[in-house]
């Protein structure tokens, strides 16, 4: 009983894995993309090469991800039904490792698994519960979390340049995040820590950049982005769609707003900071609520008010946290998250 009590977090993670493993036995290749890739996966080598070249020139530059699709679908749905639950469980585990230390890991893993269970069926169905979707969204996240954890715990550092190359070559968003990670780590070492820059970080910056450029400079991406100069309008539309139009995201945005608001109040030390914190908390909460009103002009202004006050709040919390804990991760995550959102424009 004592061993069970001490390892409840691993039992919960194992239960999550078994549940997902059982659930995946009822999932089939119902998505159009999965069916297309399944046909190609069983084609001749010359046909596969032709398809990959065509896709790179006319669809997108995610060659590494497409190779993953084809390898998994070579075994139809059998291999994916095993691999996907493993990657989901690994994502929960790595998330907990990243945000905790040895004293808080148990609770972090508990909350991580609960968070995975709480993701709505709509979101999981569109991004995780099909082969092409999980390869484009879940796998890059798991790879990036693995890279983050190796950097954090400084173990098996020889893997960092290899993982950075793979992460850079996954998708536009994750590629940008990976390049930004090493750029910011180099800046941190040089300016904040006054240390000699790690050769591993320098090498990883260039390997991640090389991976990212295989996507960003692909003919298909260059063709798609040529003449698309209205970045601000595109960014506004994407942000509105994700944060406000998607009802599945409302609980997560509300939780994020609550977390940032409480963090602002926690880090406020004097009257002036408390006043600023109170103003920002009210601005974030009120603007988010008003944005749902059926008043185009007012709700539009509220969305911009929410975005600006929320970004400022996150920046303040991240800086305060770094000053208090000397933990650079939240601060660089703000920059990387903003950059990833920008890449969607």
Q: Is 316 part of a structural domain of the chain?
A: yes
Number of domains observed in the structure of the chain: 1
List, in order, residues 6 or more apart from 193 with CB less than 8 Å away.
none
Report how far residue 339's alpha carbon sits from residue 80's, in angstroms, rounded to the nearest whole number.
31
**Is residue 246 assigned to a domain?**
yes
The burial class, CB within 10 Å (0-12 / 13-18 / 19+), for 28 is exposed
Number of Cβ within a 10 Å radius of residue 205: 23
Instruction: Dig out the tokens for 226 from the structure.
Output: 């040529």
Termini Cα distance of the chain: 53
Other C-beta atoms lying within 10 Å of the C-beta of residue 4? 9
- 117, 54 Cβ separation under 8 angstroms: no
Assign 3-class secondary structure to 233-277.
Answer: HHHHHHHHHHHHHCHHHHHHHHHHHHHHHHHHHHHCCCHHHHHHH
Distances (CA, A) of 114 to 10, 30, 96, 130, 340: 13, 28, 11, 22, 26
Question: How much is the pTM?
Answer: 0.83
3 burial (CB, 10 Å; 0-12 / 13-18 / 19+) is exposed
State the residue range of the domain holding 273: 228-345
DSSP string computed for 316-329: HHHHHHHHHH---H
Is 159 part of any domain? no
Instruction: Report CA torsion sign: 99, 100, 105, 111.
Output: negative
Angle between the 78-99 and 63-73 helix axes, to the nearest 10 degrees? 130
The predicted structure's pLDDT at residue 17: 95
CA gap 252, 298 in Å, rounded: 24
| Residue 92, domain member (yes or no) | no
Structure token pair of residue 113: 């698994």
Question: What's the pLDDT score for residue 242?
Answer: 64
> Are 139 and 94 spatial neighbours (Cβ–Cβ below 8 Å)?
no
Residue 277 pLDDT: 77
Q: What is the pLDDT of residue 51?
A: 93
286 domain residue, yes or no: yes
Q: With beta carbons less than 8 A apart as the criterion, state whether 253 and 243 touch.
A: yes
Over its length of 345 residues, how does the chain's per-residue pLDDT go in tens digits? Answer: 556 667 788 889 999 999 999 999 988 766 778 888 999 999 999 999 999 999 898 888 899 999 998 999 998 889 999 999 999 999 999 999 988 877 788 889 999 998 888 877 777 888 889 999 899 999 999 999 999 999 988 888 899 999 999 999 999 889 999 999 999 899 988 888 888 999 999 999 999 999 999 998 998 887 776 655 565 566 666 666 666 666 666 677 777 777 777 887 787 887 777 787 787 778 777 776 776 666 665 666 666 777 777 777 788 888 888 777 777 777 777 777 777 766 665
In Å, how far from its chain's centre is CA 334? 12
- Domain assignment of residue 262, yes or no: yes
58 Cβ contact list (under 8 Å, min separation 6):
219, 220, 223
Residue 84 lies in a domain: no
| Distance in angstroms (rounded) separating the CA atoms of residues 197 and 4 | 44
Q: Which two structure tokens, joined as six digits, stand for 6? A: 């001490």
Q: For residue 128, give the nearest of 96, 65, 84 by alpha carbon.
A: 84
Residue 243 corresponds to which tokens in the numbers above? 């944060």
Q: What is the pLDDT of residue 293?
A: 66
Residue 313 lies in a domain: yes
Instruction: Mention every residue, 6+ apart, whose C-beta is less than 8 A from residue 99.
Output: 108
């Amino acid at each position: 009983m004592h061993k069970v009590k001490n390892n409840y977090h691993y039992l919960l993670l194992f239960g999550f894995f078994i549940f997902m493993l059982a659930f995946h036995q009822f999932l089939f290749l119902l998505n159009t993309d999965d069916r297309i890739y399944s046909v190609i996966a069983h084609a001749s080598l010359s046909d596969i090469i032709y398809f990959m070249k065509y896709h790179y020139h006319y669809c997108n530059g995610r060659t590494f991800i497409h190779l993953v699709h084809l390898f998994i679908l070579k075994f139809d749905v059998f291999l994916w039904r095993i691999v996907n639950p493993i990657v989901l469980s690994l994502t929960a585990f790595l998330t907990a490792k990243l945000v905790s230390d040895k004293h808080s890991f148990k609770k972090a893993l508990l909350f991580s698994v609960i968070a995975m269970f709480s993701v709505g069926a709509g979101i999981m169905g569109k991004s995780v519960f099909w082969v092409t979707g999980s390869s484009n969204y879940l796998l890059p996240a798991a790879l990036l979390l693995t890279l983050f954890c190796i950097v954090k715990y400084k173990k098996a550092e020889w893997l960092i340049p290899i993982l950075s190359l793979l992460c850079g070559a996954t998708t536009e968003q994750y590629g940008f995040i990976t390049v930004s990670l090493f750029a910011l780590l180099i800046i941190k070492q040089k300016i904040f820590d006054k240390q000699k820059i790690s050769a591993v970080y320098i090498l990883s910056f260039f390997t991640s950049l090389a991976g990212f450029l295989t996507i960003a400079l692909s003919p298909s991406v260059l063709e798609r982005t040529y003449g698309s100069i209205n970045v601000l309008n595109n960014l506004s539309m994407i942000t509105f769609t994700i944060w406000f139009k998607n009802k599945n995201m409302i609980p997560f945005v509300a939780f994020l707003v609550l977390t940032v608001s409480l963090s602002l109040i926690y880090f406020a030390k004097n009257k002036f900071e408390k006043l600023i914190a109170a103003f920002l908390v009210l601005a974030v909460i009120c603007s988010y609520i008003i944005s749902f009103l059926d008043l185009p002009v007012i709700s539009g202004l509220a969305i911009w008010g929410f975005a600006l006050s929320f970004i400022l709040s996150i920046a303040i919390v991240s800086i305060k946290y770094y000053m208090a804990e000397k933990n650079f991760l939240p601060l660089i995550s703000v920059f990387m998250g903003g950059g990833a959102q920008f890449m969607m424009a």
